[in-house]
Amino acid sequence: MTLSGTDRSRGARWVLAMGIAAACLAGLVGCSLPASSGLDADATASPTGVGEPDVRRRARIRLELAANYMQMGQTEVALDEVRQAIATDPSYADAYHLRGLVYMSLGELSLAEDSLKRAQGMKPSDADIMHNYGWLLCQRQQYEQANQLFERALAVPSYASRSKTLMSQGLCHQRAGRVADAQQTLLKAYEIDAGNPVVGYNLASILFDRGENKRAQFYIRRINNSDLANAQSLWLGIKVERALDEFVAMRQLGDQLRKRFPNAKETLAFERGAFNE
């Protein structure tokens, strides 16, 4: 944590809580739009519209509208456009794929699974569908099945979004309590995309929880020394610096936290000295 376009979506509002709707719409974790929607920056598909039948062209236009509406957060409108795309061309796998993502963003996980399962049946080798279906199963705590889909996506030689899948796989391992697996998988994601704040934060968090404070410091400092810092990263940074007796750095981060996020729960915890909550 893509709806791709990760670079456009990063900043102080990046997602750490991993809520489905926020994560999908922020373009950070979990979700990847069908390549034919025209909004997946990681896609390497050939230009759409070349030699396609008229029915597919009309359905694709509807799907592009749906993807745009979804990115703007207008999920109900997006769902209506997807329905019209499917009505126009019931054999269009990407429309079922996007419908699954819209249902995920609405919290309708059973409907999302039905759509993604149908899309996968139509395009069984599509790594983006595998990734999104895996992420959905992770939300449903079906961790082993999710991991199998992530592995299948990563095994596709032409798959361009490996860092995204490694990140989601690592976060899913973390949810499942497989901390060592989570750490190793997130390290692989970090090697590919060191600028991703979700990967960096969760690596630092895991390392801090395991008492590897110096290593945690490396990852959290990279975030907090950039414009990607937010209340959560600053608070984790404060706790890491405190554990290392780096009190000057700790006070500097505390000043940032008070100034930039005066009403955040992390700021209130800092003011209470609640470092172990």
Indicate left, alpha or beta for 211 from its phi (over 0: left) and psi (-120 to 50: alpha): left
176 dihedral zone (left: phi>0; alpha: psi -120 to 50; beta): alpha
One DSSP character per residue, 113-140 reads: HHHHHHHHHH-TT-HHHHHHHHHHHHHT
pLDDT at 264 > cutoff 70: yes
Backbone torsions φ then ψ of 133, nearest 5 degrees: -65, -40
> For residues 270 and 128, what is the distance between their CA atoms, to the nearest angstrom?
41
| Whole-number pLDDT of residue 73 | 87
Q: Residue 35's pLDDT is what?
A: 58
Question: 137: which residues sit within 8 A by CB, 6+ positions away?
Answer: 113, 143, 145, 146, 149
Tens digit of each residue's pLDDT (9 = 90 or more) over 13-39: 343 333 333 334 334 345 565 655 544
CA atoms within 13 A on the CB side of 37: 31
Longest dimension (CA), the chain: 67
Average pLDDT over residues 59-66: 94
At 267, the amino acid letter reads: T
Q: What is the DSSP letter of 262?
A: T
pTM of the model: 0.81
